[in-house]
Amino acid sequence: MGITNYKLQSMKKIFFLIFILFFISEINFAQQKKYKSYSVKQGETMKSIAKFYHLSTRDLLRLNPGIKRKPKANTVIIVPNENYGKNSSEFNKEVENDNFYTIKPKETLYGISKKYNITIEALKKANPKLIEGVKIGMQIIIPKSTNEVLLDSTKYVMHKVIKDDTFYSLTKKYEVTEEDLKLLNPELIEGLKLGMDIKIKPISDEEEYDELKPFTENIDFTKKLKVYFMLPYQLNKLTDSVENKWFSKSNSLLNIVTDFHLGAAMAIDSLRKKGVQIDVEFMDTENSKFKLQYLVNKHNFTKNDVVIGPLFYDNAYWVANHINSYVVAPFYSKNQEKLSANNLINSEPNQSFLTSKMLDFIKNNYKGENLVLINDDKPENQSKLWRIVNQLKQMDSVQGISVIKSSKGFIDIDKLTEKMVENKSNWVLLISDDLITTVAAVNNLKSFDDTYDVTLFALKKDRNFDTVNNNYLGKLNFTYPSIENVYSKGKEKSSFYKRFKKKNYALPSKYAIKGFDITYDTLIRLASNENLEDGLLSGESSRIDDNFYYIKNDKNEIENDGIHIIRLSKDLVPEILKL
């Protein structure tokens, strides 16, 4: 009996030793793997997972070809193994130096990080399961403190709170959550307060060069601004005290000018209420070169800060070449590609800027998608088409580019169908500003909705899209470059609409909003800096409808490059995409 018990105990010890050896070998094997599998959780994106594992989104997508940026829950992907290269003794030594902690009710990562004097990032790195969120009773490792400064502002994207900032606008602008903001800035529990300097998010190597420096208001209340408006009112005389009833002509040009004027007047009124001193004079150019010459000869423009207008680019260019002051051109013109002056400010970017940003986005995100280009029969678009084809062909792993040309605006549906590929993403780039071609392209592509995965790209969302149903564009994941401020649809825009309607008994047109945006942005930059050039080059700003990020182009001309890549979702919600 004793012998039998002895044998049983010996067998148990042997099995136990085998189990221990197997367990240790499994740990060592797992630690030596460079990559490991990971099951995607509900709501996670490749961007959020890449950020957790300290990768760029592009590199993670390369590790997982065929996986979309927003994979479905439970999709298995490959991620780096954080224990790669560590032997078992190193791994055990790390565990010995760390503390285990059980999460209690109402505790947050911020509270735990403060308690143990470590960063939230260090906690997450030591506990990958925290990507699923904090849960009561969860056991986590508290890594040994490295005496790292928790909230070093030099390592964070910073933002100074200005009027009309909300949690919603900040979360959309910087792609963070309200909870993230409050974790980094506990004082925000009491709400946003004017003038607060808050931390937005850590600056990673990938983001350090992508983030645009935001423009910060710093008004000099002792400074008096002098501004002229040169617009084709086609009236005998106009001052800033003109009554609205004077604008009663049913003239399309006059309606545009009137609306622009009313928006500009609202901007001046808003700035004056802030305490900005503004001396303004409105001039009627009568849409005449002779009148422009008269105005330039009559007035001394050396004593003013800025001229806004004339409305037409050729006239603005002429004025800029005959005075020493800065001249702001309000609207885009094809002529600005060839006409330049160092004191001429382009408030809207050249088409080449938009095209370049769109192509950069496609190049940076291309992973073997089927490329189809749609073009019209206009001669000027033919040369543009082949320039773009040659640029796209330089991409790595490009597998061919198909071109479909419309005939008098109409597209052969059979030819288009031949170029589409099932079970693969089809990227369709529209290189046309022709209305009929645009409508035909959208109508044909929407018919593929159930058969093919289609994303429609355009070089610009112009008037050729005015008659296109936005629901169709949403289904096609419509993607385009624009200076449009897509996140201004909330409180700020609603407030502007109400104030405009109360003052002018009508809702503002796009020209009224343009007048407000350009005037407010130009003058607040001038009031916050020693001169206009310094003000214009002092960072990115977003107004009611437009973004402004001025740079000096290759002609040494100051031009707005506040361009974002925008995608319209199926729910018609615009989203700013990373280049």
Of 394-403, 442-451, 486-495, 556-565, least confident by mean pLDDT is 486-495
Asked if residue 283 lies in contact with residue 298, where contact means CB atoms within 8 angstroms, the answer is no
Residue 150 pLDDT grade (very low, low, confident, very high; cuts 50, 70, 90): very low
Q: What was the pLDDT predicted at 412?
A: 85
Two structure tokens written together for 42: 């509900």
Residue 242 pLDDT grade (very low, low, confident, very high; cuts 50, 70, 90): very low
**pLDDT tens across 98-117, in order?**
467 778 766 777 667 766 76
Residue 323 pLDDT grade (very low, low, confident, very high; cuts 50, 70, 90): very high
What does the mean pLDDT of the chain come to?
Answer: 79
Parallel/antiparallel/unpaired status of strands 197-202 and 156-160: antiparallel
The DSSP code sequence of 301-336 is GGG-SEEE--SSHHHHHHHHTT-SSEEEE-S--GGG
Q: What was the pLDDT predicted at 145?
A: 53
What does the DSSP 8-state code read for residue 145?
A: P
**Domains (range + CATH), the chain:** 87-150 (3.10.350.10), 157-202 (3.10.350.10), 224-349+495-562 (3.40.50.2300), 352-482 (3.40.50.2300)
Q: What is the 3-state secondary structure (H, E, C) of 60-83?
A: HHHHCCCCCCCCCCCCEEEEECCC
- Cα 351 from Cα 93, distance rounded (Å): 59
Give the residue, 186 or 11, on which the prediction is more confident.
Answer: 186
Give the residue, 455 or 72, on which the prediction is more confident.
Answer: 455
Residue 205 in this model has a pLDDT that exceeds 80: no
Residues 344-351: what's their mean pLDDT? 91
Asked if residue 36 lies in contact with residue 64, where contact means CB atoms within 8 angstroms, the answer is no
The end-to-end CA distance of the chain, in Å, is 77
**pLDDT tens across 410-422, in order?**
888 888 888 888 8
Query: What does pTM read for this prediction?
Result: 0.62
Residue 316 in this model has a pLDDT that exceeds 90: yes
- Cα 535 from Cα 545, distance rounded (Å): 20
User: CA angle, corner 425, sides to 473 and 47, nearest 5?
Assistant: 85
Residue 363 in this model has a pLDDT that exceeds 80: yes
Give the residue, 476 or 91, on which the prediction is more confident.
Answer: 476
Name, in order, each residue with C-beta under 8 angstroms of 271's C-beta and a sequence gap of 6 or more. 278, 520, 523, 524, 527
Two structure tokens written together for 326: 């800065």
Asked if residue 204 lies in contact with residue 514, where contact means CB atoms within 8 angstroms, the answer is no
